[in-house]
Amino acid sequence: MQSRSVSHARGIDVSRWQGSIDWKQVREAGISFVFIKASQGSALEDPKFVENAQGAKAAGLLIGAYHFLAAASVVGARQEAKHFVETMKKAGPLAWFDLPPALDYENNPAGISRAAINQVAAAFLEEVERLTGRQPILYTGNAFAANFDESLGKYDLWIARYSETRVPDDRPAWTTWTFWQYTDAGRINGITGKVDLNVYAGTLPDLKAYASRGSREDGAADPPEGTRDVSPWAEASWREAVENGYLDDARPGAPMTREEAAVLVHRLLRELRQLIEDQERRIESLEREPDII
């Protein structure tokens, strides 16, 4: 997998073990995002989750929530997914979270098979996506990642490998990471003791664009089905818009964010201004030409 870069956006992940956090100091230390533990298993909630989520959001960090998986069955995974989403809602509406919800699946205490590990992970991820309308991401360790097959490669990877020199290993499901937790012994102003340090595979503007892909102002979930399908009545207009560069060729059935709408309006206005300028130049040219008898 790829290396880290000094240009990558910096982040942390926290739970109750970090105690009370001064989020303003964390932000001033150059941290731009945080994943916050929300829940574990089918009933446990992190007692610091709401406090951490609201404090980090108020300080201007991009926030996401994660769930530590305990399930060893598909049924249990779905139950935990529901518990996770309900816990997230206690901090704020789902659209209030900037980053995708994350599944923390890093061990196998029940000793289930590799096939069962994949089934359990898929059940949790699919249920979270159904409940939130946003595709979640998967957190795991460098070694445990070898358990996941290619079918889970559609989910972005948050990988743990604690090293300053060695990159995470390529795995059947992934050859690149989206987030990399590279140490569990970081020190950041505003946090007493050690904290996990992470980077995003891009700059801060890249991360903000990544976060905005799943945002909804009204707090409602985007419909998980049909976002990649063009309605028959809109197909010709959609193709023309894509061919003219007004829109990309992704998510034709998904709601448009305010940023995407602004880009579209800007492109259309720029083209309109160009057409007006061309017409004015054409008129001026005609006015300068002598009359021909």
Q: Give, for all 293 residues of the chain, the pLDDT tens digit.
A: 999 999 999 999 999 999 999 999 999 999 999 999 999 999 999 999 999 999 999 999 999 999 999 999 999 999 999 999 999 999 999 999 999 999 999 999 999 999 999 999 999 999 999 999 999 999 999 999 999 999 999 999 999 999 988 999 999 999 999 999 999 999 999 999 999 999 999 999 999 999 988 654 444 444 444 455 667 677 778 778 777 777 766 667 766 777 778 877 887 888 888 889 888 888 887 877 665 55
What pLDDT is recorded for position 272?
Answer: 86
Count the domains in the chain: 1
Residue 274 lies in a domain: no
What pLDDT is recorded for position 217?
Answer: 42
Residue 16's alpha-carbon distances to 11, 68, 96, 163, 227, in angstroms, are 17, 13, 21, 25, 37
Dist. CA 113–CA 163, nearest whole Å: 29
Dist. CA 155–CA 106, nearest whole Å: 15
Residue 152 lies in a domain: yes
| Residue 45: both structure tokens together | 């909630």
Average pLDDT of the chain?
Answer: 90
13 is catalytic: yes
Dihedral sign computed on CA atoms, order 136, 8, 38, 174:
positive
Considering the entire predicted model, what is its pTM? Answer: 0.74
Cα dihedral 241→215→180→142 (10° resolution): -90
Do 138 and 103 contact (CB within 8 A), yes or no?
yes
With tokens 């995003």, the residue in question is: 200
Residue 14 lies in a domain: yes
Q: What is the CATH number of the domain that holds 89?
A: 3.20.20.80
Dist. CA 102–CA 37, nearest whole Å: 9
Residue 91 lies in a domain: yes
Indicate which residue of 13, 45, 80, 98 is catalytic.
Answer: 13
Dist. CA 237–CA 224, nearest whole Å: 23
What pLDDT is recorded for position 221?
Answer: 43
Are β-strands 62-68 and 44-45 bridged in parallel, bridged antiparallel, or unpaired?
unpaired
Residue 231 lies in a domain: no
Do 199 and 6 contact (CB within 8 A), yes or no?
no
Dist. CA 188–CA 25, nearest whole Å: 8
Residue 122 lies in a domain: yes
**Radius of gyration of the chain from its Cα atoms, rounded to whole angstroms:** 23
46 is catalytic: no
Do 268 and 241 contact (CB within 8 A), yes or no?
no
What pLDDT is recorded for position 218?
Answer: 40
Indicate which residue of 22, 106, 169, 260 is catalytic.
Answer: 106
Residue 1 lies in a domain: no
What pLDDT is recorded for position 58?
Answer: 96
What pLDDT is recorded for position 168?
Answer: 98
Residue 77 lies in a domain: yes
Range of the domain at 77: 10-212
CB atoms within 10 A of CB 90: 12
